[in-house]
Amino acid sequence: MAAVRSHSFVAWAVVVAFASGCEAASSEQAGYSEVVLACGPVINSPPAALVAGVFSDPVSTNCGAELGGALNVDWETFGGAPAEFYEPSTASELLVAGVIILLAADGGPGDPCAAPAAPENFRASLGGCGELEGENGKSWFDLMQRTISEVRHDLAIPYPMARASDALVVGDIASDDPPEGVIGAPPMAVVEVAALLAHEVSHAVYGRHVACADEQERTECDETAEGAYGVGAWWAARWALVNAAVLDFDDCDAARYSSAQQCSAINESDDFASCEADILRCSGT
Ligand SMILES: [Zn+2]
């Protein structure tokens, strides 16, 4: 499903609000180590375990259940929790797969200050410079638990993902034929879902989007790379660069596409390395 596709535009995630602040995880929520244990090999090094959109090891029913519990996913809105799968195709499977990529113990973007660096105001949220060695996944996990109260599915939103207050709303990320009015290009590659998750999580740090400088089909942008689009663009570009040796062309290209789309929603991205042309060349393996 990560085949090269042509897209005219994607508008992301514009229902924005600030998270309600730091909240302790409820006692029944799983911790990061429990999630890693439940998900096994796929969450240890997903860039190598996910090739052309298919996991080499099964994503177990228990993995989905633990992730769902940890992030307070309302599986009923998804039509049920995912059963074991190798190739994510439904919205619930794509969500779990995207979360796995984002929360991976290995193969994440790593140090947010290494080039190309994450947007400055976001770095501290991940623990700051040099603090992420081996802790990449846990940092994202903690940030998600801290800033997202629940995850639910709602096909009525006209975006692949959005943030409503401190809830994460997943739109139609899976359909081959999205209903009229849906902006975006589902079904999405797993890395696109992960980059969107990074974008949405970062709204806990950044404010609302602003109007776009140029007239274009999207209606909401960020003024500079210090915003959710900058975080999403950085995450996808850095992820592909870090994992270049193990990515096949399609997976690399999906990351490049995702990064470029988020870059196109930044009014002034000139000095932001993740949005420089040709920062990412995909040759595949
Ligand atoms: Zn947004």
Q: Could you tell me the residue ranges of all domains in the chain? A: 32-274
Q: Do strands 54-55 and 220-224 pair parallel, antiparallel, or not at all (unpaired)?
A: unpaired
DSSP result, 237-258: HHHHHHTTTT--HHHHHHHHHH
Edge to edge, the sheet with strand 150-153 lists 150-153, 167-170, 161-164
- Ligand 1 centroid, distance to 129 Cα (angstroms): 24
At 147-196, the pLDDT tens digits run: 999 999 999 988 889 999 899 999 989 877 655 555 555 578 899 999 99
Tell how far the Cα of 31 is from the centroid of ligand 1, in angstroms: 27
240-250: per-residue pLDDT in tens?
999 888 888 88
Longest dimension (CA), the chain: 48
For the question of whether the overall pTM of this predicted structure is more than 0.75, the answer is yes
Q: Ligand 1 centroid to 60 CA: how many Å?
A: 30
Distance 166 CA to ligand 1 centre (A): 13
* 201 CA distance to ligand 1 middle (Å): 9
Q: From ligand 1's centre to the CA of 91, what distance in Å?
A: 19
